Amino acid sequence: MAHPDIGEGIDRVDARVKVSGRAAYPTDQDHPDLAHAVLVQSTVAAGRVTALDTAAAEAAPGVLAVITHENAPELHEAPDRRATLPPPPLRGDRIVHHGQTVAVVVAETFEQATEGARLVRAAYERTDPVVDIDHPGAEHVRDPFGSDGGTGDVAAALAAAPVRVEQTYRTAVNTNNPMGPFATVASWDGDQLTVHDCTQGPSRTRADLAATLKAPQDTIRVLAPYLGGGFGSGLRTWSHTVLAAVAARRVGRPVKLVLTRKQMFTSVGHRPDTRQTLKIGATRDGRITALDHEAWQTLSMGDVNTETVARVSLSGYASPAVSARDVQVRVNVPSPGSMRAPGDGQGNFALECALDELAHELGMDPLELRLRNYAGEHPVTGQRWSSNDLRECYRVGAEKFGWSRRDPAPRSMRRGRTLVGYGMAGTSFFFYQSSCAARITVDRDGGAVVASAGMDLGTGTYTVMTQLASELLALPLGRVRMVMGDSSLPQAPSAGGSGLTGAMGSAIHAASRHLIRSFLDLVRDDPGSPLRGAGTGDVRVEDGRIVREDDGRGESYEEILTRHRLDELTAEGSAEAPGEDQPVVPTGPYAAKFAEVHVDPDLGVIRVARLVTAAHCGRILNEKTARSQLVGGTVGGIGMALLEETVTEPHTGRIANGTFGDYLIAVNADIPELDVHFVGGPDPTNPTGTKGCGELGIPGTPAAIANAVFHATGTRVRHLPITIEDVL
């Protein structure tokens, strides 16, 4: 029987701690002897450092150390070159991007460290940077993820198709821009390192630091109970985290390193830009017969970054011939990283705009075209989905939006002089779930503490895991406390890929089963227990008690512990990632997006007037936090569609708009009421039935807006962001 609080939109369990200012973020960490570190960054994008003059900085008041590539300890690359760990900092004189760290100044105070950093003088031998994805001299990395694939003879199917669409689409570089500047506080106690960090994965950051510093993992502890926003930027262990640990060891004191807003643009990743070519062949009644998707994206020099863009076309629509390929282009830009809906956000834009162009070519309703080509099974493997309610998403979304009122002719709908456009897109997000472990302890007072190293970056993990444990143990919500964000707890994956809820929920599910079994083992031969001799299949939990299924007799956790003179009982559980030998394809969430835009024909101003999302996210543990995730992602999608673009100067490689005053982010005035509806049921891939929904808000949103802009104006814009100039 479902717990009454599951699915309800209960308030976040960590809300009061946050709004009262009691939540301890990395920047809040303090020590009596805390020193401060400030980065010195390169002013060229390509070349090498020929000289570093640190004398003035070292002589400045309060400066404790200046660390450069000339005196830094050896820092190591991870043996497997994991995408979570960029190349180590300060390993040589080569410069590969503007804003690369060339020195770290450590001082008694932040102000003294800042002044010391200003006094460091660097001389460079400059070379011309490569910053453009189309640069003829750039290095290309083909099939970088081993994910290129497809089925059928695409070339032959395209040649034979009665109707063909071939277009190229571009998406801009976006920067994650969390509100909280990233910070690290590192301290050593002998060989034991403790790090407070803005990370989305304490277990991963511990492993990365161990690899970089050549230290045993059990000598490192990473703490991140709260994060001031991440959107994927906390999924890599950036150089400032490593350098904070290096600086703390150098000066023998705890060190705090906080990035400036300008440094956030060069130091914690970005969504790489893309150039994508889509070729679609179809019959005149709208059946897709061929789909070819090639995606190019930028990558920094010497780095690896996993961002599969074209794969959205391998599973999006039914077609007997499909091909998808990714290419990375090395350029002199900072290391990229995951930004909410990595790869899928860009790939979906190109695919769904191409589908809209095909619908226009056929004179067919864009919704009908998608329904006609719904993939009832995986187009490449032929396997059935674990669950897929995309059809229901289309139906509910269209009904709530009022899609039937759409006049199909471009420029046909107006409100006064304002042009009105309706656009839509289908979307999904890839399935991701890693191995995870959790521990549950129940004490003699009948309360439970649930612990796992994973962290809550603001998505509501504290809340939904508390709800889930409350259900599994049949305890009131107030009797369950969730402890997270500490690498010393049972290992957990990073909060990313919309996979933490499924992974941690499965681990807590296993731990709760093991805990019930441990209680039953305690009373197996206990003549005073009504549960004597019962197995796990003979009982259920209700009202904080374990009771027999047959006669309802049982006792509480407190009664068992008290009689056996135990203060507490603990059990651990783990969940493994689903194997590739599954009879079905584990699927992530699905959604249909419907957008209404208003365009001023004289000024070219584009406003999103309405946006409806109908989503299949499996079992919803908390409707309030789930809706919040889709709303937040949709806001990011509006920004991606109309506002956000990180501009790099072509001749210098410098980011030209690296401030909140110049980088445009959606604000309240840009956002209409966002309507979200959940459809479908639980997914059987994990015992909790969840799919995750944190990133589903972005894919589909830019395409729906772009398609609505075409419907409003008759002008097809094939790049993001769409600007005033594009529609004038």
pLDDT at residue 2 is higher than 60: no
The answer to whether 546 and 474 have CB atoms below 8 angstroms apart is: no
Show the tokens assigned to 389: 């309610």
Signed CA dihedral, 246, 249, 251, 255: sign only = positive
Between strands 384-385 and 584-585, the pairing is parallel
CA distance 489 to 1: 30
Average pLDDT of the chain, as a whole number: 96
pLDDT (0 to 100) of residue 548: 97
Name which residue leads in pLDDT, 3 or 76: 76
Helical (H) or strand (E) element with 52: strand 47-53
pLDDT in tens, 479-530: 999 999 999 999 999 999 999 999 999 999 999 999 999 999 999 999 999 9
Please, is 580 exposed, middle or buried when counting C-beta atoms within 10 Å of its C-beta (0-12, 13-18, 19+)? exposed
Taking the CA atoms of residue 201, residue 231, residue 294 and residue 361 in that order, the dihedral angle to the nearest 10 degrees is 150
In Å, what is the CA distance from 495 to each residue of 310, 358, 579?
24, 37, 21
**pLDDT band per the 50, 70, 90 thresholds, residue 19:** very high
Transcribe 112-172 into DSSP letters: HHHHHHHH-EEEEEE------TT-TT-EEEESTTS--EEES-HHHHHHH-SEEEEEEEEE-
Residue 5 pLDDT exceeds 70: no
Strand order in the sheet with 554-556: 539-542, 545-548, 554-556
**What's the CA angle centered on 669, arms 456 and 268, to 5 degrees?**
40
User: What local confidence, expressed as pLDDT, does residue 579 receive?
Assistant: 79
CA–chain centroid gap for 439, Å, is: 25
Name the 3-class secondary structure at 683: coil
Q: Residue 518: how many CA atoms within 13 Å on its side-chain side?
A: 19
- Please tell me the distance from the alpha carbon of residue 256 to that of residue 30, in angstroms, as a whole number: 8
Sign of the CA dihedral running 235, 574, 502, 471? negative
Instruction: Return d(Cα 353, Cα 351) in angstroms, integer.
Output: 6
d(CA 44, CA 134): 21
Question: Taking a C-beta distance cutoff of 8 angstroms, is the pair 37, 243 a contact?
Answer: yes
Q: What is the distance in angstroms between the CA of the first residue and the CA of the last residue of the chain?
A: 58
pLDDT at 107 over 60: yes
pLDDT digits (tens, 9 = 90+) for 426-461: 999 999 999 999 999 999 999 999 999 999 999 999
Q: How many CA atoms lie within 13 A of 398 on its CB side?
A: 18
Pairing of β 590-599 and β 584-585: unpaired
For 634, residues 6+ apart whose C-beta sits below 8 A from its C-beta are 611, 613, 674, 697, 698, 701
User: Over 521-547, what HEC string results?
Assistant: HHCCCCCCCCCCCCCHHHEEEECCEEE
Q: What is the pLDDT of residue 699?
A: 98
**Which listed residue (115, 555, 644, 695) is catalytic?**
695
Between 8 and 269, the more confident residue is 269
Residue 610 phi, psi (nearest 5): -150, 150
Q: Is 558 labeled as catalytic in the residue annotation?
A: no
Q: Which segments of 606-679 does DSSP mark as H helices, in order?
A: 623-642
Q: Residue 82's pLDDT band (boundaries 50, 70, 90)?
A: low
How sure is the predictor about 1, in pLDDT bands with cuts at 50, 70 and 90? very low
Mean pLDDT in residue range 105-127:
98
Q: Tell me the mean pLDDT in the region 615-624.
A: 97
Q: What is d(CA 46, CA 651) in angstroms, rounded to the nearest whole number?
A: 11
Average pLDDT over residues 656-681: 96
CB 250 within 8 A of CB 65: yes
Count of Cβ atoms closer than 10 Å to residue 711 Cβ: 29
- Judge whether residue 80 has pLDDT over 90: no
Least confident of 79-93, 131-145, 415-429, 444-458: 79-93
User: What is the enclosing helix (H) or strand (E) of 463?
Assistant: helix 461-473
**Per-residue model confidence (pLDDT) at position 4:** 59
What count of other Cβ atoms lies within 10 Å of the Cβ of residue 216?
9
Would you state the torsion angle of the CA atoms of residues 615, 616, 622, 627, taken in this order, to the nearest 10 degrees? -10
Q: Is the pLDDT of residue 378 over 80?
A: yes
pTM here is 0.97
Res. 224 pLDDT band, cuts 50 70 90: very high
Query: Residue 7 gets which letter from DSSP?
Result: B
**Distance between CA 572 and CA 453 in Å, rounded?**
13
At 9 the pLDDT is 85
Joined tokens for residue 118: 């200003």
User: Which residue type, as a one-letter code, is found at position 26?
Assistant: P
- For the stretch 531-586, pLDDT in tens is 999 999 999 999 999 999 999 999 999 999 999 999 999 999 999 988 777 789 99
β-strands 606-616, 674-678 pairing: parallel
The residues facing 258 across adjacent strands are 183
The residue whose two tokens read 């190109």 is 350
pLDDT at 285 over 60: yes
What does the pLDDT read at residue 578?
84
pLDDT for 84: 82
Higher pLDDT, 272 or 581: 272
In 283-417, the DSSP E strands lie at: 288-300, 322-331, 384-385, 414-415
The whole-number pLDDT of residue 560 equals 97
> Can you tell me whether residue 603 is helix, strand or coil?
coil
227 has pLDDT over 80: yes
pLDDT band at 237 (very low <50, low <70, confident <90, very high): very high
581-611 pLDDT per residue, tens: 778 999 999 999 999 999 999 999 999 999 9
User: What does the block give as tokens for 555?
Assistant: 């006792």
